[in-house]
Structure 1
Amino acid sequence: MTKAKRRLPRKPIISIVRQNGRLNVQGINKWYYYWRDPYHLLITMPWSWFLGIVASGYILLNSLFALAYLLQPGSIANARPGNFWDAFFFSIQTMATIGYGVMNPQTDYANVLVAIESWVGLLGVAMGTGIAFARFSRPTARVVFSRVAVVTAYDEIPTLMFRVANKRRNQIIEAQIRVVLVRDEMNAEGQFMRRLYDLPLVRANNPIFILSWTVMHPIDEYSPFYGATLADLEAAETMLVVTLTGIDETVSQMIHARHTYIASEMLWHHRFADILFQKSDGQRYIDYNHFHEVMPVSSQREETNGVVSRSP
C-alpha cells in the first residue's frame, strides 16, 4: 500500500487589484497566515484590537479554571457550592496573586490547579507586558509628504519635485531618501514586467532633517521620464515610490517612512507655493499652512528633446 500523501496547508489565493491607480494585493485565507505569525499580528494590530484580545483571553482563562475548580465540589473553602462566580473570582485572585484570604484551596486537586494557574498567570503577565512594551517602544516616523509632486524648470532644466517635512520638530540625523519609478513595460522578448528605475536626486541625504526638504530629480536625457508624455505615464501605470530612513535623535533608533505618487498626482507646469517668509524685523519663519499648495507656472515654454509635457 502506498502511503497517503501529506496534506499541505492551503495557500491563499492572491489577486492584484488597482485602486486609484495604486497596486494593492488581496488574498483569500490571509487571516490563516496571520494567525500563524501571532507576534507580528499582535505588534501590528490596532490598540483597540490588542486590548480586546488581552481582555478576552483573560476572561476566557479564568472561566476555564473556574469550571475546573467546580469539577470537584468543596475544593474551595468559603465558596458557595457549585457557584460559578465564586470560582471565577477565586481564579482571578489566584492568577493575579492577590490572595485576600477569604477563599482558599482545601483539597489536593485544588492546590494542583492553583499551582498550574499561578504559572499560567506569571507567563501571561510576562508575555503581555513584553508585547505591550514592544508596541510602545517601536520607533515610528512622523514625516509628512506633499500631496502631489510637480514638474517645473529649475536652473532651466525640467525637474520633478516634492516636499517632505518632519512633523515632530526634532532632528532626524543622516536622513536618506530614495525615489524609485515603477511602471509596466514589455521586454524585447515580449514579456510583461513591472520594472523599477532608481531616480538620481540633486540631494539624496540630509545630515540634519528638522525642517522642510524639497526633493528634486532633474529630467534630462538619462532620466526614465525623458521622452515620455503624460498619456504614456498613465498607460504604463507609472508610480513613484519614496522611502525615507534616518536616526531619530530622541530615541536614537532608525526610523523609516514611505509614500507613493501615481501619474495623476504629478502636476506638470506647476510649482510649490512659498513657505519661507521673513518678518519686518528680518526674522525668517516657515508657514506649513502652505506646505501642500501648488500654483501653475504661466507662459512656460515647451521643453525640447521630447521631455514630458501634458500633450502627447
Structure 2
Amino acid sequence: MTKDNIAFSSVPGATVPNAKSILKANIRAEKAEKKDKRLRRRQRYVEKDGRCNVQHGNVRETYRYLTDIFTTLVDLKWRVSLLVFIMAYAITWLFFGVIWWFIAYCRGDLEHLEDQTWTPCVNNLNGFVSAFLFSIETETTIGYGYRVITDKCPEGIILLLLQAILGSMVNAFMVGCMFVKISQPNKRAETLVFSSHAVISQRDDKLCLMFRVGDLRNSHIVEASIRAKLIKSKQTQEGEFIPLNQTDINVGFETGDDRLFLVSPLIISHEINEHSPFWDVSKRQLAKDDFEIVVILEGMVEATGMTCQARSSYLVDEVLWGHRFMSVLSLEDGFYEVDYNTFHQTFEVPTPLCSAREMAEATARMDAHLYWSIPSQLDEKVEEGTEKEDKDKERNGSLSSPESEQVHLE
C-alpha cells in the first residue's frame, strides 16, 4: 500500500480507491474534456473544400439580381441553368408561333385552305401546330422548304425580321452563358490541395506558422499568389464587439515570397514576430484560443488564362505545435518525383512551449547579460594583471636593496 493510500485509509469511513475506479475517473475526465472541446469548436467560416458558410437572408432588393442577369444565370446550379436554357428557346418559339397563327387567322388563311387561288401569308400553314413548327424552322434557320412565307404579307415579313433578330440575341445570350459556365475555373481549383493541418515550429531560430500547398495537375497555375487571414472575434477598447474580424497574416508580401512558382508542393511560412497576431500565443494559449485561419491561393489557368481561386481553412485544433512536414520530393533518374502519400504527414520536433514574445525577451535578457558580463570579466583580468605587476615590482625591489647598500658603502 502506498503512502497516499495509507494516509487516505487513516481517515474514518474512507475507502481506498482502487485502480479500476481511478481508470473510470480518468475516462470520465477525458470524455468531459472532449465534450468541452466539441462545445468550444467554432463554426467554420470557410470549409476545407473552399465553400463559404455564409447565407444571405432577408434580402429585399432582389431586383438587383435582375440588373445583372448574366451573372445571375452563370451562378445558377446546372439543373436550373439547363431548365432556363430550354425554357428560353421554348418560350420564344411558342411566342412567335402564336403570332404566326394569329396573322393567319386574322387574314383568313385558315378559312381558305382548299382555295387554290388564295395566297396565304405562309404556305402550308393550316393550324397552330404548323405555325409553331414554322416558328422553330425560322428561328433555328432549319429551312425544310415546306412552309414558306409569301411576298403578299407585309406583316409577315416584318415579323420574320423581328424573330430573326430576337432569335439571334437569345441564341447569343444563352450560348454565351453556357460557355462561360462550362469554362469556369472552379473545377480547376479542385486539383489545388492544401495540407490538412498547419504547424508551428522553429525556422532559423524563429517561431513560424506553416502550411503546405500543391498542384496535382501537370499544367501549371500562372502568376500564383497566396494570402492568409485570421478570422477571430474582437472587442475594441470602446466596448464594440466585432464578430469574425479579419486580420492579415503576412506570408511574404514584403519580400515577394507570396508569389509562387507552384511546380511542386511548397511550404508557406509566416514568421511570428511583433507584427504577427500570434506574437503572444504559446502552446497552452493555443489550446484555449478560438480562431480560424483562412488561406487563399489565386492564379491564372495556363490553358484558358482565366483567374482561379482555391480556399481552405484551419481551426485551432488543426494547428499542430512542435511539428514539421514530411518531405515529398525525391530525386529519381533525371527528374524529381513528388510523393503525395506524405503530403499531409507531419513529425514532431523540439520546439519551445512559450510564445514568440517570451522567446524574444529571453534572448534579449541573455544578450544583455553577455553584454555586461564580458566587460566586467575584462576589468577583473586587468586588475589581476595590475596587482601581479605590483607584486613583481615589490619582489624585485626587495631583492635589489642589499646590493644597493653594498654599493653605497663602497
Could you state the TM-score of these two structures normalised by the residue count of structure 2?
0.60
Aligned to 1:293: 345
5+ residue gaps, structure 2, are 1-40, 46-52, 110-120, 359-410
Letter in 1 for 2:272: I
| Secondary structure of residue in 1 paired with 2:56 | strand
> What per-residue deviation string (whole Å, max 9, x for no partner) do you get for residues 145-195 of structure 1?
223322233334332111111233233344222212121111111111243
Where do residues 104-183 of structure 1 align in structure 2 (5 Å cutoff)? Answer: 104-106=148-150, 107-138=153-184, 141-142=188-189, 143-183=192-232
Letter in 1 for 2:298: T
Distance in 2, Cα, partners of 1:132 & 1:273:
43
Aligned pairs, number: 284
Alpha carbons of structure 1 residues 267 and 32: separation in structure 2 relative to 1, 3 Å = farther
* Residue number among 192, 195, 201 corresponding to 2:251 in the alignment: 201
Does the 8 A contact of 1:173 with 1:206 survive in 2? no
The structure with the greater share of residues assigned to helix is: 2
Does the 8 A contact of 2:200 with 2:319 survive in 1? yes
Distance in 1, Cα, partners of 2:295 & 2:355:
28
> What per-residue deviation string (whole Å, max 9, x for no partner) do you get for residues 237-293 of structure 1?
x222222333444444544333333333323333333322345x5854111133233
Distance in 2, Cα, partners of 1:90 & 1:168:
49
Does the 8 A contact of 1:174 with 1:205 survive in 2? no
* Residue number among 342, 350, 353 corresponding to 1:302 in the alignment: 353
> What per-residue deviation string (whole Å, max 9, x for no partner) do you get for residues 77-97 of structure 1?
2133x3x32221111001112
Distance in 2, Cα, partners of 1:153 & 1:192:
34
Alpha carbons of structure 1 residues 186 and 284: separation in structure 2 relative to 1, 3 Å = same
Does the 8 A contact of 2:322 with 2:350 survive in 1? no
Aligned to 1:12: none
Does the 8 A contact of 1:169 with 1:211 survive in 2? no
| Secondary structure of residue in 2 paired with 1:24 | coil
Distance in 1, Cα, partners of 2:223 & 2:160:
54
| Secondary structure of residue in 2 paired with 1:227 | coil
Aligned to 2:145: 101
Aligned to 1:13: none
* Residue number among 88, 95, 99 corresponding to 1:64 in the alignment: 95
Aligned to 1:233: 289
Where do residues 215-254 of structure 1 align in structure 2 (5 Å cutoff)? Answer: 215-228=268-281, 229-234=285-290, 238-254=291-307
Alpha carbons of structure 1 residues 190 and 152: separation in structure 2 relative to 1, 3 Å = same
Q: Does 1:272 align with 2:325?
A: yes
Once the two structures are TM-superposed, the CA of residue 214 in structure 1 deviates from its matched residue by 0.8
Q: Which has the larger radius of gyration?
A: 2
| Secondary structure of residue in 2 paired with 1:26 | coil
- State percent identity of aligned pairs: 29
Distance in 1, Cα, partners of 2:181 & 2:355:
53
Give the superposed CA RMSD. 3.1
Letter in 2 for 1:24: V
> What per-residue deviation string (whole Å, max 9, x for no partner) do you get for residues 185-225 of structure 1?
11111111243322223563345321111111122343211
The structure with the greater share of residues assigned to strand is: 1
Alpha carbons of structure 1 residues 25 and 264: separation in structure 2 relative to 1, 3 Å = farther
Could you state the TM-score of these two structures normalised by the residue count of structure 1?
0.77
Distance in 2, Cα, partners of 1:263 & 1:68:
65
* Residue number among 43, 46, 50 corresponding to 2:81 in the alignment: 50
Does the 8 A contact of 1:160 with 1:218 survive in 2? yes
Letter in 2 for 1:125: N
5+ residue gaps, structure 1, are 1-17, 308-312
Distance in 2, Cα, partners of 1:34 & 1:292:
41
